[in-house]
Structure 1
Amino acid sequence: MTKDVIALTPKMPDLPTLLAGLYAGGPDIGVNTTADGAVVQLCAPDGRPLVSVEAPILVQVPGETTRLLGHPVGEGPVWWTEARASTAVAEAGRLAGSFAGRLATVLGGTVWPPEAAATDVVPLTTDVSAIPVPATSTPAVDVLTDSTAVVIQDRPLVAMTSWLSDALRTTTATDRALQIVTPPTARLTLPTRTALHGLPNRWVVQDPEHGYYDGLSGAVLHWKNGTFTPVHEENGTARIAEAFTATADSGDRQLILTLRTRHPADADLVLGRGLETAFQHLTGAPPAGWSTAEPVNLPWSTRQLTDLARSRAPRPTWLIVVGHPDRPALATIRVLRTPAGVEEDITFALGYGKGETPPLDAIEELATKLEAQHSLATLLTALRTARRDLTTPARLEYPPIPVAFTLGSDKAASIGRTRAGHPPQSPKPMQLGRAFHYTLGDGTDPEAWTTFQHLARHLRQRG
């Protein structure tokens, strides 16, 4: 298990400041680097890593420390320096706190969590030779088996940090599952939920009274053959944890747009403009920032986003986009090179509290703009009962209910315009230029799923 401590400073930690932090353990603590120098590790005399420190990140997007940590900082950019301490050694957590506290003291910043901050020298008194050497060299991974990488997180909100993003890439490349273990009070950000949705990856909740269960499905879990797997009833179905019950409806809602665009792969292509249009139309402002991990640290730029995706092609690129603090809005983009061109698969979520009305009447006009200007392939709009802050608790949440589906002109042409325009078991679509827009409901009747399934089945048929 590891403990995370973050120094938030208005100035970049320079070499002398970092050295002052690295001396938090006194002269007996060694220093090592991994990840091509991007991670510095404070080590025991035998080389065992005690604290791993990631290179500082300049967060230029307002509201990120509040969104992810509940820890607001002053106006302007902030340097985010994150340390992960191994809890296999008692002194490691205090060592991480002293490292972060020294940075904050010298540079005039703060530490999260505040109670971790210190500046004392933390000598190593534990006999580390009696503690098994960790089987993994990846700082984010606590347990590594042939099939699974386990990450144990004690944060109230588990974000898709660069630590976790690196662990996810490593597990995918080695054909392993990524399983994140948290207490029942933890929540996931939308990017983390998206990354863990679908097997073999899991969110494992460790409940003191109920044991282990899946935070997204509620399935009771146990450790078997080096991985967390479901416990089954006699009839073969997964047993559901008693703690996995629905919370009372607070009136919060999430508007979810699942959007796909498809563009010709030419030198003038600029990605992200479709999502920018959606942000502008539904929030009144373009996105605030983008990044490959959380915290989202870069000011919004479609040109820089495009340059990154182009540099990685033909490999896919996965990105996170965040809105301004006054309206919870968050999106993930997967850019994929295909024989048909360049595709953007986008999930865009917006949060609304009790008394706020999700702008369902704005979807038709948005779909028209996306079709006319941004090579719309498909757009599914849905509404769900879920938290305004777009985070996911380890409780039962009902799935989103479809509101509308838009079929872009190119997709309609490939299906056949006659077929697309005459679904037998769905409402007659409205034409938006040469696209088709199908109204499915108002987001309150689950029967809209049946209507959408009939429509999808009809559009998949040929002849």
Structure 2
Amino acid sequence: MTKDVIALTDRMPDAWSVLAGLLAGGPDLHVRSAAEGAVIQLCDAEGRPLVSIEAPLLLHVPGEAQRLLGATGGDGERRWWTEARASTAVPGAEQLAGAFAARLATLLGGTVWPPDAPGADDATHPVDTSQITAVPAPVAAQPAVDVLTDKVAVVLQDRPVIAMSSWLSQALRATLESERALQIVTPRHCRLSLPTGSALTGPPTRWVVQDPDCGYYDGRTGAVLRWQDGAFEAAEDADGQTPVAPAFADVAPTGERQMLLSFRAVHDPDAHLVLGGALEAAWQALIGELPTGWGTAEPANLPWSRRRLTDLAYERAPQPTWTVVVGSADRPALATLRVLRTPEGVEEDVTLAVGFRDGEKPPVSAVADLAAELTARHGLRTLLAQLREARADLTVPPHFERPPVPFGFALGPAEVAEAGTGIAARPPLPAAPVRIGAAARPGYYYPLGDGDPAEGWTDFETLLRHLRGAL
């Protein structure tokens, strides 16, 4: 599986400490940079990569290491996160990565994840690399890619939570550019972070779970998989049907739930525009506090700042900007925010997820007032609010989860005008819509029940058909 090792250090890895870590393989290995200098690679005499080391990140956000690595991820204090990935094609490379991370932790104070990483138990002696040999890396390969075929790029991972790291996001972009699919292979005990799960949009892009009973299955659908013609594809039984792995259906109710809020806001491209206000309003309404951190990958390493978010989006325009936003450890909350320039203006697409433990009540009634605030102050176009039975920690497990059920939908004034004010104001629903805009240019919030599957989906479908003029 994956051979990732992470050093979580108290002090910043400077050039000398990194050099000392690189010498864990002795003086005969070579060093080169990749990814425009963001990655350092230890290579053999032929220049073939053995270990790739990413630039250190200072985790300003308390709890991010623990969220992604579990109890061994630290105690919530600020740490420097330095990640090394050993080539899975090279026996012994993981020991080299472990020794590198252990040297950093010894010199700078800190810990190594995983604690039992090969090579991490003795940071004083160089690793014997005389027998380590590597194979040439394919031209299209990324540091995170373990197998590359004409159809797919395969990434092998074994972490508590498979996060949308910078390496993984680079691999995803590279596969799209090369017209391949991304397939992530993990053991059954792994889970996906919400951003990673959202990025796996369906076959041939897959989450492939290793299972002792059936071999492999799709972690999102349960379909049994086989490696065929250079990719993991759905297997078929004698009747031509794809069986479902028994492990996928092995589910016990926990009482935990998630509230999911997806909305789109559009702003005039004003020179004084500061982004992130709509997300802040939603966070405050549902959680009672502001976000704590954000970043362009996981772990989110920057303290929350609307100004810095705006500056980044401005620098990247006209290309879109994708970010992940996290909250405090007291209330599991996570959002993805995509900013892009459209003919209508500057658009913010937000998906916010909030986790609730057994016995806790999601603030369903707060969404109507939030929709009104987003309409009045933040250019709301559409909003969909849903509930689902799922893990409160917002991770995605490799077994069946019920789909989310809509309980509220909102249209901003521009969408109401497009649908027709008379049509938007009189939907054939049990509950009357709530006006959330000015009388002259209204928007509407549509209650869709309290999360009951039959009621929520039936009312939502009826509403959409009515707004589209199909009734």
TM-score bin (small chain): over 0.9
2:31 partner SS = strand
The within-5 A match list for 1:223-234 is 223-232=227-236
Map of 1:133 onto structure 2: 136
Q: Deviations over 1:300-355 (max 9, x none)?
A: 11111111112112211111000111100000011121111121111100000012
2:448 paired with 1:440: yes
Map of 2:104 onto structure 1: 103
2:21 paired with 1:21: yes
1:84 partner SS = strand
Letter of the structure 2 residue corresponding to residue 52 of structure 1: S
Q: Deviations over 1:249-306 (max 9, x none)?
A: 1110000001111112222222111001111111111110111100000111111111
For residues 236 and 469 of structure 2, the distance between their equivalents in structure 1, rounded to whole angstroms, comes to 37
2:443 paired with 1:429: no
Letter of the structure 2 residue corresponding to residue 26 of structure 1: G
Map of 1:177 onto structure 2: 181
For residues 105 and 132 of structure 2, the distance between their equivalents in structure 1, rounded to whole angstroms, comes to 30
Letter of the structure 2 residue corresponding to residue 380 of structure 1: L
Gaps of 5+ in 1: none
Q: Deviations over 1:12-67 (max 9, x none)?
A: 11111011100101122221211122111111222221111000011101110110
Map of 1:282 onto structure 2: 286
2:18 paired with 1:10: no
Map of 1:318 onto structure 2: 322
Deviation of residue 239 (structure 1)?
A: 2.9
Change (3 A) 1:246 1:265: farther
Map of 2:56 onto structure 1: 56
For residues 75 and 217 of structure 2, the distance between their equivalents in structure 1, rounded to whole angstroms, comes to 39
Deviation of residue 160 (structure 1)?
A: 0.4
Change (3 A) 1:238 1:261: farther
Map of 1:155 onto structure 2: 159
Of the candidates 217, 220, 224, which is equivalent to residue 224 of structure 2? 220
Letter of the structure 2 residue corresponding to residue 110 of structure 1: T
Letter of the structure 2 residue corresponding to residue 451 of structure 1: D
2:128 partner SS = coil
Gaps of 5+ in 2: none
Letter of the structure 1 residue corresponding to residue 259 of structure 2: L
Paired residues of 2:66 and 2:76 also in contact (CA < 8 A): no
Map of 2:146 onto structure 1: 142
Paired residues of 2:48 and 2:135 also in contact (CA < 8 A): no
1:399 partner SS = coil
Deviation of residue 461 (structure 1)?
A: 2.7
Letter of the structure 1 residue corresponding to residue 57 of structure 2: I
For residues 419 and 233 of structure 1, the distance between their equivalents in structure 2, rounded to whole angstroms, comes to 50
2:128 paired with 1:123: yes
For residues 235 and 420 of structure 1, the distance between their equivalents in structure 2, rounded to whole angstroms, comes to 48
For residues 237 and 316 of structure 1, the distance between their equivalents in structure 2, rounded to whole angstroms, comes to 40
For residues 218 and 209 of structure 1, the distance between their equivalents in structure 2, rounded to whole angstroms, comes to 13
Q: Percent identity?
A: 57
2:92 partner SS = helix
Deviation of residue 76 (structure 1)?
A: 4.3
Change (3 A) 1:462 1:307: farther
Q: After superposing the two structures, state which structure 1 stretch, 49-58 or 264-273, moved more.
A: 264-273
Deviation of residue 428 (structure 1)?
A: 2.5
Paired residues of 1:134 and 1:142 also in contact (CA < 8 A): no
Deviation of residue 134 (structure 1)?
A: 3.7
Paired residues of 1:210 and 1:243 also in contact (CA < 8 A): no
2:194 paired with 1:193: no
For residues 297 and 410 of structure 1, the distance between their equivalents in structure 2, rounded to whole angstroms, comes to 36
For residues 33 and 365 of structure 2, the distance between their equivalents in structure 1, rounded to whole angstroms, comes to 54
Relative to the length of structure 2, the TM-score reads 0.94
Relative to the length of structure 1, the TM-score reads 0.96
1:6 partner SS = strand
Deviation of residue 445 (structure 1)?
A: 3.1
Paired residues of 1:91 and 1:122 also in contact (CA < 8 A): no
1:216 partner SS = coil
For residues 227 and 91 of structure 1, the distance between their equivalents in structure 2, rounded to whole angstroms, comes to 27
Paired residues of 1:150 and 1:179 also in contact (CA < 8 A): yes
Change (3 A) 1:351 1:5: same
Q: After superposing the two structures, state which structure 1 stretch, 453-462 or 404-413, moved more.
A: 453-462
Map of 1:33 onto structure 2: 33
Map of 2:74 onto structure 1: 73
1:438 partner SS = strand
